[in-house]
């Protein structure tokens, strides 16, 4: 059975330990002392900030850091710290660290709340909207309209093609990716690397019921050779893996998976808030049926989902890169001030201009 035990440490930082009581004569593990080193309770956080906890428990399996309910990183060895970019908004934050130990049988939790500055409004400097457009001739800023939360916005620019981007390949290595699917997925990543531009960067991350670390992929790399020894095993924690890759950089996230997410700790809505508040566009190549999260994430960010097999996933990846490389980038200065979800509707402003795909909105936080 589970019995919650709570105590106060370091002022108002509350630590909650869930002790697992084992059947038989074995005794329960002792509650650990866990406290935040940074940030401190009531501090203000902005931009890239260190999150760190001090722990006195032995046999730590991992420390998970959450910001406003979203998993932002996992640390498996001391010192238990990572960096997180809070952006430019000085709003109140709820930061939580879960210390899992003794073979994941014990969970000790520390939390802090940071202070906000200002009210409930926020200004977004510039919004980027990747677009797939069908049109005769060149498309300019006067050829497209943008409505944000029912208010028409002034379009600054419509740029043919795309700017230098970060590409992240999320590769499912769960048990169900056997029978050649994992090898075919890595071959598809090779195909994508061939189509990136000189100023693009690429990273790869594998996930099953856990997720690994982001690894850089040099332009000359062959993922199929570098990771030939990766074997399918375990379950699927797709949402956790997706949010672990989010930064403020302009990113195209390409997921290769075949399974329904069964192991993520972060919920659909929290994961969608995390990815939709950035310059990320999510695409998915799915060997089976896409999850609701993938459908929603691709729709909101202006990406796409393609059903694939081991035989055609390489060609499907080439189609995704051709789509990305041929898109326009629209920019506008938002006139909105509210926090939370802001919807975006785009449309052609002259005859023959048709918007085929575009970002549906973003979270301003």
d(CA 143, CA 155): 10
- The domain 2-113: what is its CATH number? 2.60.40.10
**Number of C-beta neighbours around residue 230 at 10 A:** 16
Check residue 59 and report its DSSP letter: S
Give DSSP secondary structure letters for 313-349.
HHHHHHHHHHHHHT-EEEEE-----B-EEEEEEEEES
State the chain's mean pLDDT as an integer. 85
d(CA 16, CA 73): 20
d(CA 203, CA 132): 24
Q: Where are the domains of the chain?
A: 2-113, 127-160+328-364, 166-325
d(CA 213, CA 204): 8
Q: Is the pLDDT of residue 94 over 70?
A: yes
Tell if the pTM clears 0.95, that is, is over it.
no
d(CA 11, CA 14): 8
The encoded tokens of residue 347 equal 């449309």
Which pLDDT value is given to residue 125? 64
* Beta pairing partners, 332: 127, 155
The beta strands (E) that lie in 114-199 are given as 127-134, 144-148, 151-153, 155-159, 166-172
What pLDDT, in 10s, does the model give residues 105-154?
Answer: 898 999 998 887 554 555 666 888 988 898 988 899 999 999 999 999 99
d(CA 154, CA 333): 7
**Number of C-beta neighbours around residue 91 at 10 A:** 20
d(CA 299, CA 207): 23
Tell me how far apart the terminal alpha carbons of the chain are, to the nearest angstrom.
Answer: 39
For residue 345, report the phi and psi dihedrals to the nearest 5 degrees: -125, 125
Give, for 183, the enclosing helix (H) or strand (E). Answer: helix 181-195
Q: Is the pLDDT of residue 268 over 50?
A: yes
Options 3.40.50.410, 3.40.50.11390, 2.60.40.1730, 3.40.390.10; CATH of 166-325: 3.40.50.410
* Beta pairing partners, 127: 332
For residue 15, report the phi and psi dihedrals to the nearest 5 degrees: -115, 130
The encoded tokens of residue 199 equal 């100023």
Are the beta carbons of 127 and 156 closer than 8 angstroms? Answer: no
Residue showing tokens 């802001």 = 342
User: Range with the lowest mean pLDDT among 171-175, 180-184, 257-261, 351-355?
Assistant: 257-261
In three-state secondary structure terms, 190 is: helix
User: Range with the lowest mean pLDDT among 54-58, 147-151, 276-280?
Assistant: 276-280
- Sign (positive or negative) of CA dihedral 245, 246, 247, 250: positive
Mean pLDDT of 78-87: 90
Note the residue count of the chain: 365
For residue 91, report the phi and psi dihedrals to the nearest 5 degrees: -100, 165
What confidence category does residue 26 fall into, taking pLDDT thresholds of 50, 70 and 90? very low
Q: Is the pLDDT of residue 12 over 60?
A: no
Q: Is the pLDDT of residue 10 over 60?
A: no
The C-alpha torsion from 112 through 117 and 118 to 119, rounded to 10°, is: 0
What confidence category does residue 7 fall into, taking pLDDT thresholds of 50, 70 and 90? very low
Residue showing tokens 């084992």 = 22
């Amino acid at each position: 059975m589970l019995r919650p035990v709570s105590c106060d440490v370091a002022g108002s930082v509350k630590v909650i330990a869930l002790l697992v009581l084992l059947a038989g004569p074995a005794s329960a593990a002792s509650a650990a002392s866990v406290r935040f080193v940074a940030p401190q309770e009531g501090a203000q956080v902005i931009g890239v900030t260190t999150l760190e906890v001090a722990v006195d428990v032995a046999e730590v399996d991992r420390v998970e850091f959450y910001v406003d309910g979203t998993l932002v990183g996992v640390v498996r060895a001391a010192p238990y710290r990572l960096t997180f970019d809070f952006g430019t908004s000085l709003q109140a934050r709820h930061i939580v660290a879960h210390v899992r130990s003794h073979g994941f049988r014990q969970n000790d939790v520390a939390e802090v709340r940071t202070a906000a500055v200002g009210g409930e409004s926020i200004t977004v400097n510039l919004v980027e909207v990747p677009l797939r457009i069908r049109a005769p001739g060149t498309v300019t800023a006067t050829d497209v309209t943008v409505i944000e939360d029912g208010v028409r916005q002034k379009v600054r620019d419509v740029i043919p093609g795309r700017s230098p981007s970060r590409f992240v390949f999320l590769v499912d290595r769960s048990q169900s990716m056997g029978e050649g699917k994992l090898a075919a997925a890595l071959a598809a990543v090779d195909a994508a690397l061939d189509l990136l531009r000189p100023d693009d960067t690429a990273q790869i991350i594998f996930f099953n019921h856990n997720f690994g670390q982001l690894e850089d992929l040099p332009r000359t790399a062959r993922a199929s050779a570098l990771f030939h020894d990766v074997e399918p095993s375990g379950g699927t924690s797709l949402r956790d893996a997706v949010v672990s890759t989010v930064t403020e950089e302009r990113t195209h996230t390409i997921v290769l998976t075949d399974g329904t997410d069964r192991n993520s700790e972060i919920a659909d809505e929290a994961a969608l808030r995390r990815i939709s508040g950035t310059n990320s566009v999510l695409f998915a190549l799915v060997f089976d049926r896409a999850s609701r999260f993938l459908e929603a994430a691709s729709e909101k960010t202006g990406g796409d989902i393609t059903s694939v097999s081991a035989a055609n996933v390489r060609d499907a990846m080439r189609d995704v890169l051709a789509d990305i490389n041929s898109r326009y980038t629209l920019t506008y200065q938002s006139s909105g001030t509210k926090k939370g979800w802001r919807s975006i509707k785009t449309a052609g402003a002259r005859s023959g201009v048709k918007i085929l795909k575009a970002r549906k909105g973003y979270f301003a936080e």
